[in-house]
Amino acid sequence: MPSTSIHGTPDYAELFNLGLSPEEVIYFSSNINPYGPPPSVVEAVRSYISRDTLARYPDSLSISLRCKLANHHDLPPEAVLVGNGTADLIWLICHRYAANRQVAILGPTFSEYADGVVMAGGHPTEIVLPGWERIGTGRYAPSPISFQQTCDALAAAAPWLVFVCNPNNPTGEYLTPDQILALRAAAPHAIWVVDEAYSAFAADGWSADRWVLDGGWIVLHSMTKDFSLGALRLGYLLASPYLVEQLQAVQPPWNVNGLAQFAGEAALDELPWRDQFMAKMRRDLADFRSDISHCGYAPRETTVNYVLVPVGDAKTMRNRLLKERLIVRDCTSFGLPEYIRIAIQREEENAQLLDMMRAIAQEEHLTHKRARAERLAHITAPERT
Ligand SMILES: Cc1ncc(COP(=O)(O)O)c(C=O)c1O
């Protein structure tokens, strides 16, 4: 059953059990911009707070923010719907469209799609992304599986709804516009949901927003990630006015609070701030990948602010690092129990993680060397006597 879902965000119960507060640990597990929110947004929110603004109900339609988002994407306001985080919109889409229907989910990927589908009474079908293969129930491994195999599986599933995360969480892989169109051609009658929660982090970010007015597309964005509004929660979707109207009809009223709407508008004035830090994070991640490679790890390629690193047993590695108050994402729940996912943080924090991972790699190297020497001694001992 859903909502056993594991996330990289603070697990307050775990922290409570460890006697720690969120400020005492570093979250490499949460894919949020560590430099935000922009100072001007914090200031704007502060100045917004008054007895009146806290007492007043928010605009249920988020009209002002919606118009600003529409302008940003060069779409009409009727093509925008704001939600209490992107997760809220994923569940809304499932609630509206998934019941009793086949829903294809391209994975390994974010668990909320399958959870939302099951909760809505739909039937999720896992379709393996190119470059991966399924090696057991819900378990994946890298593989040269071809793009055509993914298309064939999609066509066979004949889904009513498709979820594709692009760039993908947790793999950091990013499909091009041509690849998305080729996939869509395999299931042309489905509504395609493209989750672009991480597109701002990619160097060559692009958006499927260019197709939404044609119908049949829903594009998701999260302002929680790139502007660091985790506590306020803010996401939005772009779709044809027809789909937006259908979704709006089943959205609970006032579910986006007034502070979040106001912060969202202020954040949209800070796109240069955002892009400057996105570029910095890409440089820092490239350095980090190179540094841990020198320690003996083999991080995968990525296009965004997080990277998958194979470590043998992800759970053990997470627990080792947790003792040092460094939290990485154990990817077992994604079907990748050998991988951890690391989201780049501030430079001094990255250096701490690097030091610990280097120490762990050296320790393991010594343990292996010792075990090998013992094995050899055991084999040769009888020969000596
Ligand atoms: C791919 C993806 N989509 C959506 C979300 C949820 O975003 P939000 O915090 O805006 O609800 C996440 C959060 O981890 C995510 O990884």
Distance 87 CA to ligand 1 centre (A): 6
What's the one-letter identity of residue 93?
I
The answer to whether residues 196 and 300 touch, using CB atoms and an 8 Å cutoff, is no
With a 6 Å cutoff on the Cβ, whether 29 touches ligand 1 is no
With a 6 Å cutoff on the Cβ, whether 195 touches ligand 1 is yes
Note whether 147 and 276 are same-domain residues. no
Note whether 97 and 32 are same-domain residues. no
Note whether 151 and 72 are same-domain residues. yes
pLDDT attached to residue 385? 45
Among the atoms of ligand 1, which is closest to the Cα of residue 109?
1
pLDDT attached to residue 96? 98
From 227, 252, 270, the end of a domain falls on 270
Return the CATH number at 340: 3.90.1150.10
- Tens-binned pLDDT, residue by residue, of the chain (385 aa): 344 567 777 788 888 888 888 888 999 998 999 999 999 999 999 999 999 999 999 999 999 999 999 999 999 999 999 999 999 999 999 999 999 999 999 999 999 999 999 999 999 999 999 999 999 888 999 998 889 999 999 999 999 999 999 999 999 999 999 999 999 999 999 999 999 999 999 999 999 999 999 999 999 999 999 999 999 999 999 999 999 999 999 999 999 999 999 999 999 999 999 999 999 999 999 999 999 999 999 999 999 999 999 999 999 999 999 999 999 999 999 999 999 999 999 999 999 999 999 999 998 877 777 777 777 777 665 554 4
Distance 197 CA to ligand 1 centre (A): 6
Note whether 160 and 245 are same-domain residues. yes
Note whether 89 and 203 are same-domain residues. yes
Q: Is residue 5 part of a domain?
A: no
Q: Is residue 377 part of a domain?
A: yes
Longest C-alpha distance within the chain, in Å?
A: 90
3-state secondary structure of 282: helix
Note whether 263 and 277 are same-domain residues. no
pLDDT attached to residue 380? 62
What is the phi/psi pair of residue 106, to 5°? Answer: -85, 120
For 17, left (φ over 0), alpha (ψ -120 to 50), or beta?
alpha
Note whether 103 and 217 are same-domain residues. yes
In this structure, how many other beta carbons lie within 10 angstroms of the beta carbon of residue 321?
25
pLDDT attached to residue 128? 96
Q: Is residue 7 part of a domain?
A: no
Return the CATH number at 266: 3.40.640.10
Distance 152 CA to ligand 1 centre (A): 28
Note whether 318 and 374 are same-domain residues. yes
With a 6 Å cutoff on the Cβ, whether 86 touches ligand 1 is yes
What are the pLDDT digits (tens) for 59-111? 999 999 999 999 999 999 999 999 999 999 999 999 999 999 999 999 999 99
Domain that holds residue 374: 12-36+272-381
With a 6 Å cutoff on the Cβ, whether 228 touches ligand 1 is no
Q: Is residue 55 part of a domain?
A: yes
The best mutation among 110, 175, 219, 333 to test binding of ligand 1, ranked by most ligand atoms within 8 Å of the C-beta, falls on: 110
Give the global pTM: 0.93
From 227, 245, 270, the end of a domain falls on 270
Total structural domains in the chain? Answer: 2
Note whether 78 and 151 are same-domain residues. yes
With a 6 Å cutoff on the Cβ, whether 222 touches ligand 1 is yes
Q: Is residue 213 part of a domain?
A: yes
Note whether 142 and 207 are same-domain residues. yes
pLDDT attached to residue 9? 75
- Among 239, 336, 359, 361, which residue's Cα sits nearest to residue 6? 336
- Among 303, 304, 227, which residue's Cα sits nearest to residue 72? 227
CA gap 78, 76 in Å, rounded: 5
Note whether 257 and 319 are same-domain residues. no
pLDDT attached to residue 3? 44
